Every structure is written in structure tokens, then in C-alpha cells.
Amino acid sequence: MIRRRIHLPSDYAARVDRLLAESLGGFSRQRIQRLLEDGSVRIDGHRVRKGETLRGECVVEVAVDDSAIAALPPEPEPPIAILFEDLSCVALDKPAGRAGHALRSGERGTIANFLTARFPDCSSAGDTPLEAGLVHRLDTETSGVLLAARTREAWKALRRQFRERKVGKLYVAVVQGALANAGEVTRAIEPHPRNRRKVRVLEEGESSRRARPAVTRFRPRGRGSDATFLEVELPTGVMHQIRAHLAAIGHPVLGDTLYGGDPIPEGRHLLHARRIEFDHPETGKRIAVESRVPEDFVIALRRLGFRLSALRFRHHDADR
């Protein structure tokens, strides 16, 4: 038997069965219910009930068989560009359209499959081999920098930095309409009550037991044809945060049809994780990793009438 530790941030609240469904990839809902019923799940050493809501910072321990979480099939092809690599961690340039984490044993085509093949030590770094050491998430249609750990110690250190909001995250996005001024959205986000694929942004002054605090800061950098190019900073990290926050203020990301954005020929939404900054888990040195804006994103910008030279791209982005 092994024990898996799931650390919760102090501002997190969720039903324990929902948390386990999100954290234990490869486990069916029936299997999770059995774990709860037979006492295999404990919170800070105490047995927990299926419908219990967890709040504040605590440690969830789950006793499971090693065989219950099978390793992913390694897939070195198609290759993913490596942006940073050492013995502790690796940063990848995730393409749009490819999922990061795997959700079940035997799944193929994810970034985790590639990590399992290219960096086998990633498989034992996180809480489950299905995440292959990944320390954060990007939506499937979002491209850009994705960070993974190669050791258990590095994974814990990087996850701690995310929880403590010490990781710098800069995105670029193209939203519908004209957005003239910089701003900040601080409205909390909760799971959507009727659509499990979405989240819901609370109104100002509204409260919910399931909501999590979220802060999104944006700066307009250029105007195109009924569209605005933004730089977006993300101090917090909630599912679909940028997409939901920008849609909530009337400017959905172009291509993001789930949150009201218009479809575009590129077949993706125009959101890209441009840069990530973190303290190296061993040396403590501040590391900044950047991802070039991908070709399909640049094609969309040109089609929408943006002047690339005005968007403060590096030379190799604007001239491709």
C-alpha cells in the first residue's frame, strides 16, 4: 500500500469526492466511493465522509494499491519542444489541441505521455503517474509554457510556490471588441451548476461555499479589427480563470466558443502562456522561461489586422 498526499491551499473548498475525482486520475467514481466507504481516505489523520466539504489547508491521505494507478504508455512522438531542462525540472512548449494531464490509465496523446517517454523520472515525481510530474495545468486549446518536475522534492517545492502565489505567469490573449484600458477582475469563480465543462464567475458581492478567489490583471497592447490584444497576469490559478473572467466583463477570448467567443478559422482559442517565472527548487535562483507565440496565433493576428511590430513581440515572433 502507498499513501498519496494532496495538499490544499488555504482558500480552497470542495467536496472530498470531487477533490479525489480531480486528483486521482484513472479512478472511477465507484472506486472513489469504495475508498471513502472502507476508510482508505483520511484528512489530517481522521476518517472522512463521502459528502464532507474540505476547507482551509489540510492534507488528504489516500491508501491505494500500487497496481491501481498504472503507468501511462510512453509516446516520444510527436515530439514537444523543450524550453528548459535540468535534473530537477523541465519546461515544455505545449501546442494547442493537446491535453496536458492524462485522465485514465492507457490514455494516449497527452503531454504526460510524452514526458513519460522523454523523462521517465517524471512518472514518480507527482501524486500520480498520470500527471507525469506536471505541476500546473493549461487548457487543451491553450498553448505555451508548461512546467513539470523530475523529482518528488522538486514537485513539492514547485507546487508550494504555486499555492503561495510565488510563480509569475504571463499570458497573451486576443479578445473580442475594443478594450481601451488596463484592468483587474477579482470576482470569485465556482464550478458551473449545470455544465461540468464550465465555471461560473460570481457577481460582485455574491458569495458561494464552492467559490474560489481569483485575480486576473490585463493590459491592452494593440487593436485589430473589432479585437484587442492583451497581456494577462495571473496571480491565482483557477480552472478557466482567464477565459471566464474576460468573458464576464464582455470580452471573451476569440475562438473560445464555450464562453461566448466567436469561432475562428484557426480552430483554437487565442490564449497563449507566454512566460513563467519560478524559483529553482534546488538552487533558489529565479528562472524565467518564455514561449514564442505560435504560428497559428500569428496567422490569426495578421488576419485580424494587428500590427505585429506594435505588440512588443521579440524579433523572431513578429517576423515569422
Higher pLDDT, 169 or 35: 169
Q: Which of 17, 93, 127, 139 is catalytic?
A: 139
Average pLDDT over residues 204-210: 88
When pLDDT is cut at 50, 70 and 90, the band that residue 318 belongs to is very low
Cα 117 to Cα 94, 120, 248, 286, distances in angstroms: 16, 6, 40, 28
Q: What percent of the chain has pLDDT over 90?
A: 63
Amino acid 1: pLDDT? 43
Q: Is the bond preceding 78 in cis, omega lying within 30 degrees of 0?
A: yes
Inter-residue contact 40 to 4 (CB < 8 Å): no
Amino acid 20: pLDDT? 74
C-alpha cell belonging to residue 259: 464562453
121 is catalytic: no
Amino acid 312: pLDDT? 64
Amino acid 24: pLDDT? 60
In tens, the pLDDT along 15-72 reads 777 777 666 655 666 677 777 877 878 877 788 777 788 776 677 777 765 554 557 8
For residues 60 and 6, give the distance between their C-alpha atoms in angstroms, rounded to a whole number: 5
For residues 97 and 320, give the distance between their C-alpha atoms in angstroms, rounded to a whole number: 21
Tell me how many degrees the CA angle 110-146-316 measures, rounded to the nearest 5: 110
Q: Residue 214: which of 192, 238, 191, 197 has the closest Cα? A: 238
CA trace torsion 223, 301, 112, 275 (10° rounding): -50
List the domains of the chain with CATH numbers: 2-68 (3.10.290.10), 82-163 (3.30.2350.10), 168-318 (3.30.2350.10)
Kindly report the length of the chain. 320
Amino acid 15: pLDDT? 79
When pLDDT is cut at 50, 70 and 90, the band that residue 315 belongs to is very low
Amino acid 46: pLDDT? 81
Q: In terms of C-beta density within 10 A (0-12 exposed, 13-18 middle, 19 or more buried), how is residue 302 classed?
A: exposed
In tens, the pLDDT along 95-112 reads 999 999 988 888 899 999
Higher pLDDT, 40 or 270: 270
Average pLDDT over residues 187-213: 91
Amino acid at 225: S
Average pLDDT over residues 230-258: 96
When pLDDT is cut at 50, 70 and 90, the band that residue 319 belongs to is very low
C-alpha cell belonging to residue 272: 497563449
Q: Residue 191: which of 218, 169, 212 has the closest Cα? A: 212
Average pLDDT over residues 157-165: 93
C-alpha cell belonging to residue 296: 497559428
Question: Has residue 320 got a pLDDT over 50?
Answer: no
Average pLDDT over residues 3-20: 68
Q: What percent of the chain has pLDDT over 70?
A: 87
Higher pLDDT, 4 or 147: 147
Amino acid 11: pLDDT? 64
Largest CA distance in the chain: 61
Map the chain to HEC letters.
CEEEEEECCCCCEEEHHHHHHHHCCCCCHHHHHHHHHCCCEEECCEECCCCCEEECCCEEEEEECHHHCCCCCCCCCCCCCEEEECCCEEEEEECCCCCCCCCCCCCCCCHHHHHHHHCHHHHHCCCCHHHCCECCCCCCCCEEEEEEECCHHHHHHHHHHHHCCCCEEEEEEEEECCCCCCEEECCCEEECCCCCCCEEECCCCCCCCCCECCCEEEEEEEEECCEEEEEEECCCCCCCHHHHHHHHCCCCECCCHHHCCCCCCCCCCCEEEEEEEEECCCCCCEEEEECCCCHHHHHHHHHCCCCHHHHCCCHHHHCC
Q: Which residues pair with 55 in a beta bridge?
A: 13
Mean residue pLDDT across the chain: 87
C-alpha cell belonging to residue 265: 478559422
Amino acid 316: pLDDT? 47
Amino acid 6: pLDDT? 64
Average pLDDT over residues 169-197: 94
Q: In which residue are the cell numbers 470576482 written?
A: 187
